[in-house]
Amino acid sequence: GPEALGPQAWLFPGFALSQAERLLQDIASIHALAPPRCMQVPGGKHMSVGISNAGMAGWTSDTRGYRYSTLDPSSGKPWPALPDNWLALAQDAARMAGFPHYHPDMCLINEYQAGARMGLHQDRDEQDLQAPIVSVSLGMSATFQFGGLRRSDPVRRVPLHHGDVVVWGGVDRLRYHGVLTVRGEPHALSGARRLNLTFRKAL
Ligand code: MD3
Ligand code: FE
């Protein structure tokens, strides 16, 4: 059953399992329009994670900084639409976690090839920091790290598997978090990749 990761953070193991094949198909359709790319960050390095987006805005990064943009800078076109079934899944999970009025306007899609990782960070580029973030893990497993409100706070490691959903809101919304290097067995549905959806209210 659900596991509390914090006062307002919940892990729902396997919550998206019955929809996983459909979600992976939807990701392939979105990637055909907006391919995942390893974005440059202000320090000049490139992220190891490939990022794409769906919805009214997309998270982007370059040497000038991080921002949400209504257009894909690679194509100059709007990001692909957020599928209705994705929104329904995110709202169902948010309701289960105690957030009954959740209206995310976008979904950030992370693609981890084996060897990719995401360093410890906070998500604070969104306009509405009251709205929770819903995350859906697909494909290869990974070890998620979540800490506290300061970078130096101790970090707990949580394994995330195909189909798991996590909701982060309220007092847990600004916790530092990251993903250790993805390694191990390829997944039958995704190959040597992990995909992660994070729903946000960005605008
Ligand atoms: C806890 N993604 O895209 S999802 C990100 O698995 C990101 O790809 C990770 O961190 C991934 O920014 C983790 C879980 C997650 C997302 C946002 C959070 C946990 C969070 C915001 C606050 C606290
Ligand atoms: Fe994050």
Question: Domains in the chain: how many in total?
Answer: 1
Q: Is residue 48 part of a domain?
A: no
The predicted pLDDT at position 153 comes to 98
55 within some domain: no
| Average of per-residue pLDDT values in the chain | 98
The Å distance, Cα 123 to ligand 2 centre, comes to 5
Q: Residue 106's beta-bridge partner residues?
A: 55, 200
In whole angstroms, give the CA distance from residue 176 to residue 119.
10
The overall pTM is greater than 0.95: yes
State the residue for tokens 């919805």.
Answer: 55
**What residues have CB less than 8 Å from 22, skipping those under 6 apart?**
85
Looking at the domain assignment, is residue 61 inside a domain? no
Domain that holds residue 143: 3-36+81-200
Q: Which CATH number does the domain housing residue 94 bear?
A: 2.60.120.590
The predicted pLDDT at position 96 comes to: 98
Planar angle of CA 179, 184, 186, nearest 5 degrees: 105
Mean pLDDT to the nearest integer, 65-78: 98
Reported as half-sphere exposure (CB side, CA atoms, 13 A), residue 24 has a value of: 19
pLDDT single digits (tens) 7-26: 999 999 999 999 999 999 99
pLDDT-derived band at 75 (thresholds 50, 70, 90) equals very high
The CA distances from residue 133 to 40, 75, 175, 194, 201, in Å, are 24, 27, 12, 19, 8
What residues does ligand 1 touch, defined as CB less than 6 Å away?
108, 110, 118, 123, 133, 135, 146, 166, 168, 172-173, 175, 177, 179, 196, 198
Beta-strand runs (E) in the chain:
3-6, 9-12, 50-55, 58-62, 65-69, 106-113, 118-121, 133-139, 142-146, 156-160, 165-168, 177-179, 193-200
Residue 41 located in a structural domain:
no
Asked if residue 54 belongs to a domain, the reply is no
CA 8, chain centre distance (Å) = 17
ipTM comes to: 0.96
Domain assignment present for 145: yes
Ligand 2 centroid–CA 12 distance in Å is 18
What pLDDT sits at residue 57?
Answer: 98
Calculate what percentage of the chain has a pLDDT beyond 90: 100
Percentage above 70 pLDDT, the chain = 100
Instruction: Give pLDDT, residue 77.
Output: 98
Q: What confidence tens digit (pLDDT) does each residue in 82-138 have?
A: 999 999 999 999 999 999 999 999 999 999 999 999 999 999 999 999 999 999 999
**Mean pLDDT, residues 164-170:** 98
